[in-house]
Amino acid sequence: MPLSPESLQATDDIVSRLATESILAQPGRDEGLIPAFSLLGELRELVAVEPALAGPVATVHGAIECLLDAATPFDSATLGALAALIAWLPGALEASRLERPMPPLPGTVRPAVPSTVAPARPAGEPAAAADVLLELHLGENRELLAEFYGEAIEHLQQIEAALLVLDQTPDDPEAINSIFRSFHTFKGNAGFLGLVPMQSLAHEVESLLDLARNRELVLSPAIITEILASRDTLQALTQQVAAALEKGQMPTVVIPVSHLIRSVRGLATGQPAPASAPVPAELALSATAVAPLAPVAAPVSAPATGEQSGSPSASATVRVGTEKLDGLMDIVGELVIVQSQLVESARAFGDSGSPLQRNVSQLARITKDLQHTAMALRMIPIKPVFQKMERLARDLARNFGKKVHFTTSGEDTELDRTVVEEIGDPMVHMVRNALDHGLELPEQRVESGKSDTGTVHLRAFHQGGSIVIELRDDGRGMDPERLRRKAIEKGIITQGTTLSREETLALIFAPGFSTAEKVTSVSGRGVGMDVVRRNIEKLRGAVEITSELGKGSTFRIKLPLTMAIIDGLVVRVGTDRFILPSTSVQVALRPARESITRVHDRGEVLELRGKIYPLHRLHRRLGIPGDAQEAWDGIVVLVEHSGRVSALLVDEMVSKQEVVIKNLGAFLGNLPGVAGGAILGDGNIALILDPATLLQAA
């Protein structure tokens, strides 16, 4: 059948990139070998529906695959076949588009090259032979290893995503084909670079998946668990490559793969899997949380993980080092500052409607567009984090003897790369809490009239200028009275303390708080949820809880989209100006005289809509002079911090604007109450306040 217009466009692009790679390729050298292999793999997927195109592409792809498996460079015959294929493809694609007969195939493409590759290592070779140290030859292979690492991370993510699909639907052909292709490519690239443990393990798993692909084997939960363990081990080996590229730290520890190879071989022949020692889920999570290295950073405008590599969007991506993106953001930030200063100068020296004013306005529009584009380059989907949580939920449910249906939505929601890297650890603790404390055991759920399978739903969505991550379960919910008793028992609050329902639920974030009856490997020490709140506040975010006893709980995290630029409220205290993050501000108002009450020896409080809030004067918190002698002479800002809401008194609300965050350096970096600095339009510096640490002591 003819190719679709979208596939034809993507195919044209790949052919052009293949032509570029082949120009640099020479017999006896390996430049362009891995890129050509990858591009032909994408092309092979795209033209699979057109046999007249798929056959020649598969032939040349197989020839290059043989070179990779043998760890040999290009030879004249393979290069000639590649060049002939590239010359033939444009006419063949045009014929497919017009549904005409294909042009004659060049003879150099015709030689029969096996499309399936011989085993990477002899089938009878002892598995223990693969338990060797990775030999990287960093001096001569640095660029190839960097390219390998970038592709390996993507394939590992795709493998995990496909396995989680197969855990629910073991016969899903698309997922099986996706995971087979990933292991197949992983094996070929590792073999070319002489990475023996990775090549050997990937080859065995590929052989097992080939049986499933040909419907000779059904992927049982035991098989999927063993493939997940193999994937985790490949990931640990990949991180050894990362350490060598980033720090020059060569592998010194042998990561064993023989136990997995023996297990996979046994499963392929129908034997039960022996007990193995897979990489723990926690190690897998921490390993993938490593930021991409400079030469192999996250793709700019990359498609979501798991998208077919042959799609048009995938062929329109480019890898850019993260340090280059950070440098671009810094420069754009400086440009934004200078543009703000020009606007102030133009107001002083130019009349309204003058050419200067018009030019400055045009510059402001261009700068704004450039700023948003630079920010977009830093944005990546949250899907990899969600995928790790899905894997973690699967493993924990098995450990706890619980049944869970874990679902996600909004995984394509994008936010700043820095936020994605930092959000992983809090999410791990939240998912653990939901599985351990939230969901009941199957028999307990049945007794209470529920399904024996619990539901945990993780979703992300935009709300204003922030992103919200919500984790909801249908478990036992939280008992506020029980939380209160535990808090008194542990000395977190005193017997006579009065708390609202929201404040009582927020007790679970207190250091040392735990409702677990005994300490286990995942809970009971009272450190998990404290980490959640601390890390969320470090990201200038907030976390809320709603819960109904017997029906479940919902944790809601609100985060800024980016850590580089902040949407803030500029306030004045005396002669100084400060910036409050908009994500922390609930409302700003001028209070009525009767709403302010002085409490003997306790300070002041604000009464607003039937609620009482402690009132803090910002000038006293910072030890500077202020203008407002009485609270009703100034402006009160309600700010949220550490799960509570307080009133902050300032002299004046100046404006609301986006500012570029500047690091204050080591000397002022840990100053309580200060999150950073910013340069305002008039060139003056304003401190960005952190309400959580500013009011914590109060």
- pLDDT digit string (tens) for 576-631? 999 988 878 888 888 888 888 888 767 888 888 888 888 888 888 888 888 888 88
Whole-number pLDDT of residue 698: 57
The answer to whether the beta carbons of residues 411 and 460 sit under 8 Å apart is yes
- Which residue type does 324 have? K
Given a cut of 60, whether residue 634 has pLDDT beyond it is yes
Average pLDDT of the segment spanning 460-484: 86
pLDDT grade, residue 457 (50/70/90)? very high
Whole-number pLDDT of residue 605: 87
Q: What percent of the chain has pLDDT over 70?
A: 84
- Domain locations in the chain as residue ranges: 5-295, 321-380, 382-560, 565-696
Whole-number pLDDT of residue 316: 53
DSSP secondary structure letter of residue 294: G
Which contacts of 241-248 are long-range, i.e. CB under 8 A and separated by 24 or more positions?
A: 241/134, 241/136, 241/145, 241/148, 241/149, 241/152, 241/195, 242/149, 242/290, 242/293, 244/136, 244/138, 244/145, 245/138, 245/142, 245/145, 245/146, 245/149, 245/293, 245/295, 245/296, 246/293, 246/294, 248/138
Angle at 531 between CA 432 and CA 641, to 5 degrees: 120
> Domain 321-380 is in which class?
mainly alpha
Domain 382-560 indexed as CATH 3.30.565.10: yes
pLDDT grade, residue 24 (50/70/90)? low
Given a cut of 80, whether residue 70 has pLDDT beyond it is no
Does this model's pTM top 0.85? no
Kindly report the average pLDDT of the chain as a whole number. Answer: 79
pLDDT grade, residue 280 (50/70/90)? very low
Q: Name residue 468's beta-bridge partners.
A: 461, 558
Domain 565-696 indexed as CATH 2.40.50.180: yes
Residues with Cβ within 8 Å of residue 694, at least 6 apart in sequence: 621, 641, 672, 673, 674
Average pLDDT of the segment spanning 82-100: 84
pLDDT digits (tens, 9 = 90+) for 191-248: 878 888 998 899 999 889 988 888 888 888 889 989 999 999 999 999 999 989 888 8
- Residue 658 or 631, more confident: 631
Cα–Cα distances in Å, from 348 out to 342, 345, 601, 681? 10, 5, 49, 13
- CATH code linked to domain 5-295: 1.20.120.160
pLDDT grade, residue 454 (50/70/90)? very high
Average pLDDT of the segment spanning 171-194: 85
Nearest-angstrom CA–CA distance, 641 and 635: 19
Greatest Cα pair distance in the chain: 98
Given a cut of 70, whether residue 354 has pLDDT beyond it is yes
